[in-house]
């Protein structure tokens, strides 16, 4: 059974598609007011429209500090508070071994996946500290625990998200704000479209390596995020929860 989040406010980045869209929808279904954050205005408005209810669509680049500060402020001015955040926006660039990888790709990956999470937490935590309560879930990856040939910047960014999560978890534990992370395995979202198109055999191999024998569904991350935000997770702090069909247990 999902907890009732009536009267609560959730802020979800990367909400126009995939894991973010499913999680924004799950928060709305649980009764929360939801701010959907994504890069493109039309895409994020379309996503908010498909969810319906008390949603707010905000176009924002999470790697840009002014843009993040404004998005958090707008959420608070519209809905009056901020209870939950899922800092999920992320990018994956073309695969290349470290010696051949593009420096621009490295910088962009770190800017969105790591700096973006840090910037969002910075402004969310200011409000949650004023309120004296809150819960944040950051999106790492199973790649936050292991290396990934050809994906050095991505895996480094996801390891970094766990460092940010543990540190903020410690900093805010006594202030009634819990910071945790999810570590998704391989999910059926647009992030894996290029793999499906260009290297379908690699996707098949990945599926074979996942103990559960299939890709995850975005709703399976959403339910983990809502659990971590809910009262049932009151003692869980600085934790990285694998949502990976058993991949990291091997
Ligand atoms: N799909 C997987 O298998 C998988 C596995 C592990 C972790 N993840 C992580 O889950 C998160 C969501 O990925 P997804 O699979 O839903 O992919 P997705 O591509 O469907 O969604 C990512 C969303 O983030 C948005 N975004 C990208 N850059 C942004 C920016 N600078 N500012 C605001 N929004 C931005 C995109 O527009 C997109 O809507 C990512 O952090 C990803 O690394 C995904």
Confirm or reject: Cβ of 19 under 6 Å from ligand 1: yes
Q: What is the DSSP letter of 3?
A: P
Ligand 1 proximity of 17 Cβ (cutoff 6 Å): yes
Burial label, 74 (beta-carbon count in 10 A; 0-12, 13-18, 19+): middle
Assigned domain for 2 exists: no
Q: Give the integer Cα–Cα distance in Å for 230 and 4.
A: 9
Write the CA distances from 113 to 29, 105, 120, 135, 161, integer angstroms: 27, 12, 11, 19, 8
Q: Is the predicted pLDDT of residue 1 greater than 70, yes or no?
A: no
How confident is the prediction for the chain on average, in pLDDT? Answer: 96
Using CA positions, which residue lies closest to atom 20 of ligand 1? 18
Residue with tokens 């805010």: 172
Q: What is the pLDDT of residues 54-102, one digit of tens each?
A: 999 999 999 999 999 999 999 999 999 999 999 999 999 999 999 999 9
Work out the average pLDDT over 176-187: 98
Number of the ligand 1 atom closest to the C-alpha atom of 15: 39
Domain-located, residue 249: no
Domain CATH for 180 = 3.40.50.720
Residue 141 lies inside a defined structural domain of this protein: yes
Task: Report how far ligand 1's centroid is from the alpha carbon of 88 (Å).
Answer: 6
Strand partners, 161: none
Centre of ligand 1 from the C-alpha of residue 250, in Å: 25
Does residue 58 sit within a domain?
Answer: yes
Domain annotation covers residue 143:
yes
- Residue written as token pair 């999680």: 23
> How much is the pLDDT for 84?
99
User: Where in the sequence is the domain holding 226, given as residue range(s)?
Assistant: 9-191+218-243
Check the CA dihedral 214-248-105-125 and report its sign: positive
Sign of CA dihedral 20, 25, 30, 35: positive
Q: How confident is the model at residue 110 (pLDDT cuts 50, 70, 90)?
A: very high
* 196 occurs within a structural domain: no
Average pLDDT value for residue range 37-63? 98
Q: For the chain, what is the domain count? A: 1
Instruction: Assess if residue 228 is contained within a domain.
Output: yes
Q: Please give the structure tokens belonging to residue 42.
A: 């039309």
Report yes or no: 37 and 31 within 8 Å, Cβ to Cβ.
no
Q: How far apart are CA 234 and CA 130, in angstroms?
A: 19
Q: Is residue 33 part of a domain?
A: yes
- Label each residue of 205-229 as H, E or C: HHHHHCCCCCCECHHHHHHHHHHHH
DSSP code string of 175-214 = GTEEEEEEEE-SBSSGGGHHHHHH-HHHHHHHHHHSTTSS
pLDDT of the residue at 202 = 82
Average pLDDT over residues 33-41: 98
Q: For residues 206 and 65, what is the distance between their CA atoms, to the nearest angstrom?
A: 36
CA distances (Å), 169 to each of 61, 71, 224, 240, in order?
24, 23, 17, 11
Q: Which atom of ligand 1 is nearest to the CA of 216?
A: 3
Query: What's the chain's length in residues?
Result: 250
């Amino acid at each position: 059974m999902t907890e009732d989040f009536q009267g609560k406010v959730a802020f979800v980045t990367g909400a126009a598609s995939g894991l973010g869209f499913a999680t924004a929808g799950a928060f709305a279904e649980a009764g929360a007011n939801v701010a959907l954050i994504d890069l493109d205005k039309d895409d994020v408005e379309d996503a908010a429209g498909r969810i319906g209810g008390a949603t707010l669509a905000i176009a924002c680049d999470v790697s840009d500090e002014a843009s993040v500060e404004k998005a958090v402020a707008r959420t608070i001015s519209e809905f009056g508070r901020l209870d939950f955040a899922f800092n999920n926006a992320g990018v994956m660039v073309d695969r290349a071994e470290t010696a051949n990888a593009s420096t621009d790709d490295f910088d962009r990956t770190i800017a969105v996946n790591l700096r973006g999470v840090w910037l969002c937490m910075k402004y969310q935590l200011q409000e949650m500290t004023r309120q004296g309560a809150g819960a944040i879930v950051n999106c790492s990856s199973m790649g936050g625990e292991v290396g990934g040939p050809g994906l050095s910047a991505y895996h480094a960014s996801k390891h970094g998200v766990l460092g940010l999560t543990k540190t903020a978890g410690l900093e805010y534990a006594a202030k009634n704000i819990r910071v945790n992370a999810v570590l998704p395995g391989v999910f059926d979202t647009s992030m894996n479209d290029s793999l499906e198109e260009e290297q379908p055999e690699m996707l098949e191999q990945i599926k074979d390596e996942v103990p559960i024998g299939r890709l995850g569904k975005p709703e399976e991350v959403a339910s983990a995020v809502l659990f971590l935000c809910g009262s049932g997770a009151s003692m869980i702090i600085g934790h990285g929860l694998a949502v990976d069909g058993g991949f990291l247990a091997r």
